[in-house]
Structure 1
């Protein structure tokens, strides 16, 4: 009995020693170049189901194993993260992975991004002149080789939402009153630029150049506005901008509008559900004093700015001012992409909830890297 226990213990010690020697041998073989390091060759991403609180990112990571043996027993793990201007948007990972010998293996990942990450990212996007650096990291670690491989991809997202407020088109302003001339004013140009940005609001400073073609002055006491993105009200209000425009004169009337950043996550859901397309509409009205024409003060529509915003965040196209980015190679020549999130850890078998709506799947680029374009707000 005792002899049997001693024999079993001895066998276990021998097995452990053999495994230790094997592990050291493989690690040493990697160090001298006999065994190659696995690398990420492709990271494909697409938006999956989205609901009012979360956005699903479906990813496929292709790993190249140059060795004649698989790494299924090597304690292989992948950590995945996405950041936009340093704001962590989503993270995920898988453990206990296996890759095939001498070739590529596809590893699927499902990452859930909290939609409340959209407002803080938006602030950085505007503060950087509507420029975002999208970073995707896919870190691979092999316990068997005792090494980590950390390729990274960076791409630029550039938009020009504010450009939609700029126009040099002459437009007549009619009031449709029998006692008032037509037009009562001419709108010669509109312009806009970003104002103060905080965690709560994003201000837009607008200017309207108005011309009075009539022989009597026209007074404007107030300018109001409403901003909608895919019918989601992003901001509304009025600003007192009293100005009197003399006969035959031009005046610039200024107003500051404010986007409510807390509504950006609600807009984001509609943006994905509409195939990454947003219809932006900003409607302005003015209160005009028509007493010089024998009338009273009335409210009329001053202008309406409409703009289509399209994005192709994980696809190969670019629209509405988007530009393609460059992948940043790591010392070993591999490339990666980044997708951020502070609190959400992805699992490969996440099942969408009933209230989630699937969004169209973008077509991956030929090289499998992230291509980003267009406007995101």
Structure 2
């Protein structure tokens, strides 16, 4: 990354660190320094001013950590010093932060579903600023969305779970009852059933993205029901750790969580945001950016599975990796029929597959899931 000098480097680090640690330093202060770092020797800005808004902190070891890794990859590749604002709750505070950043940034990434309305409102007032929202569905000429087909990864770890269960009772702690989580649970279930037709998946909701205490309580409720493999869709490893304490196999989320329960860890879906962030900011720089609803695949490098835990049998690993290759080759579609819902009603006929739009709007569970979707 190009710097103006040692002094400027120290100033940049100081301000970004202050913002990252949740101090009162306003986003515009860090933005001013980032703008200087993105300016040529003649004073003319050469690169866009980019900002990232995080619900948590990179230290969560999950969702925010992987977004921050993607941001760092973008900075390294494009020579851009970006602004980060951490611990921004969804709601009115988020709208205020996005409004402040829009005053002195060209590109703003919002990395939580709950930022959607805030970003939509601010984007309408700042048509010259480009906004990109992770996991949402509202768009404008200057507001795009981005996400990845994590359900491909969920299917694969579901296969491993289906092979490793001994009582065919799997558990899943869902975050919020939104399509992103619902279709991930469905893919996990379909993966498990593909190798073990008797596998069932019990679901409870934590209604959190990152709240270890609440997530542990939800996990415990499933462990008390006798599940012998437990998966979760949150940013913390709380469910995985709760499972390990009972001697139960666990599956994490977002980032490689094997270190939190090495003896009882299977694997988990992981995000790799670097390719998207590099591509998106490059398109701004070369003038080709346009608002889109990006939905990257495993083949695009946006999603993958973490390395298997040390106690996962080799035959299970080989089975999963063979299916992964089919996904990469484009010869296997997770949501190809026949697929039925919980009531046994056919939702996807044999010989057909769900469209991207249908997947992104999924509000029903597949057959074999024990749980409800609150309305």
- TM above 0.5, yes or no, is no
Which is helix-richer, 1 or 2? 2
For the superposition of Structure 1 and Structure 2, which TM-score range results when normalised by the shorter chain? under 0.3
TM-score scaled by length of structure 2: 0.27
TM-score scaled by length of structure 1: 0.27
Which is strand-richer, 1 or 2? 1
